[in-house]
Structure formats: structure tokens, C-alpha cells
Amino acid sequence: MTTHHESLNSGFVSLVGAGPGDPDLLTVKGLKAIQAAQVVVYDRLVSKEILALADSSAEMIYVGKRLDFHCVPQDQINQILVQKAQEGKRVVRLKGGDSFIFGRGGEELEELAQFGIKFDVVPGITAAAGATAYAGIPLTHRDHAQSVQFITGHVQKDGREIEWHSLAQSNNTLVFYMGLKQSGYITQKLLETGLDATISCAIIENGTRPEQRVFTGLLKDLPTMAEQAVSPALIVVGNVTTLHDKLKWFQPPNSDS
Ligand code: SAH
């Protein structure tokens, strides 16, 4: 039994980040990879305009969540990628945003590496960059934030507890992914570790998409704000969010203002 299997053929997996929603935010390199793919393995957050870029003969495999179904387990996704590559196929593994930011891209590549399958990585615009850009919220700004942190809101599930004390600084922008359901806990922890209750925050729902909505308020009101928002949404905490009013520019085509 060998641990490193040599691939017998020229199968290849391209791990492509599709960006946060607006299909035009796909990179040129991502576009070329999708067009050349024989198999596309994709997640829920990938827009249908991007899926439509694939060749009509490409095999499209959905591995995201369905309404009441659970998502395809990670080891089964890994298995599909390995199997298709071993058949000699050009595979694109397509994920929302950037594959290395809360996207399990690393785990999937580790599996491919173990089987000796060749791969490359095409970065995507992560939600924190895309959604804030479209909301007119600069992640850093000389007057407001000297640093920015991306944090998962799936705190308990994803293992180790967040080091809250390292987050709670007034000149640090915090971007929480998957944080809507945990907004009460997040708020409580940030207040406990020293953030001011009146620091500004924002929720960006469906960022970069025609349905984009932005809610702004104070940290103490974050749990109430979160009740009005739906997934996918980002929570942004920090004084940069006060710039939204001045810098908002994105007019979703279906908005009435
Ligand atoms: N790899 C992705 C993140 C996957 S985790 C990336 O780099 O963007 C899924 C979470 O991303 C969602 O729960 C939400 O918090 C965030 N997200 C993804 N797309 C979004 C969008 N268009 N607007 C706001 N948040 C988004």
C-alpha cells in the first residue's frame, strides 16, 4: 500500500473562486478554466450566470445544500474530485468568493495532493472584499482602521474558540462570515472584551447582487439588525462602516431609489 498514488493520466483540477455574486467579478483566468472544463463541481453560492459559461457538453455536479437536504459530505466531494481527475478529466472545482477563505479549499487540495493529482488555484474575490466594495465601506482607512480581520461566525462548530481579546480594538475592522445566527453571541463577546457599545457596524446581505441590502447601526443593536437580514450576509464591525452613507454607489437594478 503506497500513500502517494501516481495519477496514470493527465487529469487536472482547477480550484476556482467565483467571487461573491456579481458574475462580472469572476477573474479572466477563472473564466478560461471554466470554459475549458469537462467537469464542473460547484457549490450553492455560485451564480447561474457563471455556471452558464461552461461548455454545454461539460458535466455539471452540484454538491451544495438543497432546501431540506444536507450538503454532500466533504469526503464525498473529495472522492468525486479524485475520481474525475483519475478518469483524465479537466475538472473545475468552483466555489463562492475565494476558495481559501472559509471555503475548505485547502482540505480538498490536501486530498488531491495525497493522490498525486495535479491542480492549480485561481483566487476569487472574497465576500469581505466584494460586498464591502459594493457597499461603499473601505475595509481600511487612515482615519478609522489600521487593520482588518476575517472571522468565521460558526464559532462553536468550527472548532477552536476565537481569541476575542485580539479582535476588540477600535481601529480594527472585523468582518464576520456566517455570523447572522450567532450575532447575539458575537456582540456579547465583543462587548465583554472591550469594544464600545456605540461603535458602528453594518450587515451586508447579498453583497454585489441585484438584491443587495445594507443595514447600519451600533454594535449594541447588532442582534436586532441581524433579525431583519437573510443569508448570505456579512457582519462588519468598525468605524469604517460610517462611510457607507457617504460612499454608497451601487444602485441595484431592481431598487426603486
Ligand atoms: N469562500 C467564500 C465564503 C464562504 S462562507 C468567500 O470567500 O466569500 C459563506 C459566507 O460567506 C456566507 O455565510 C456569508 O457570510 C458570506 N458571503 C458569501 N457571499 C456573500 C455575499 N454575496 N454577500 C454577503 N455575504 C456573503
pLDDT tens digits, 24-48? 999 999 999 999 999 999 999 999 9
Beta bridge partners of 39: 59, 91
Query: Quick check: is 65 catalytic?
Result: yes
Instruction: Write out the H or E segment, with its range, that includes residue 173.
Output: strand 172-177
Question: What's the rounded mean pLDDT across residues 46-51?
Answer: 95
pLDDT tens digits, 57-112? 999 999 987 645 567 888 899 999 999 999 999 999 999 999 999 999 999 999 99
Catalytic residue among 29, 55, 65, 158: 65
Q: How far is the CA of 174 from the centre of ligand 1 (A)?
A: 14
Atom of ligand 1 nearest to the CA of 100: 1
Is the beta carbon of 11 within 6 A of some atom in ligand 1?
no
CA nearest neighbour of 192 among 220, 232, 155, 216: 220
Q: How far is the CA of 99 from the centre of ligand 1 (A)?
A: 11
Write down the CATH number for the domain with range 127-247: 3.30.950.10
Residue 205 Cα to chain centre, angstroms: 13
8 A C-beta contact, residue 78 and residue 100: no
- CATH 3.30.950.10 in the chain is located at 127-247
Atom of ligand 1 nearest to the CA of 212: 23
Is the beta carbon of 207 within 6 A of some atom in ligand 1?
yes
Instruction: Write out the H or E segment, with its range, that includes residue 150.
Output: strand 147-152
Atom of ligand 1 nearest to the CA of 103: 1
Question: Which class would CATH give 4-122?
Answer: alpha beta
- Say what the pTM is: 0.93
Q: How far is the CA of 7 from the centre of ligand 1 (A)?
A: 34
pLDDT tens digits, 108-152? 999 999 999 999 999 999 999 999 999 999 999 999 999 999 999
What's residue 3's pLDDT? 45
Q: What residue spans of 87-208 are helical by DSSP H? A: 105-114, 127-134, 183-192
- CATH 3.40.1010.10 in the chain is located at 4-122
Q: Centre a 10 Å sphere on the Cβ of residue 188 and count the other Cβ atoms it contains.
A: 14
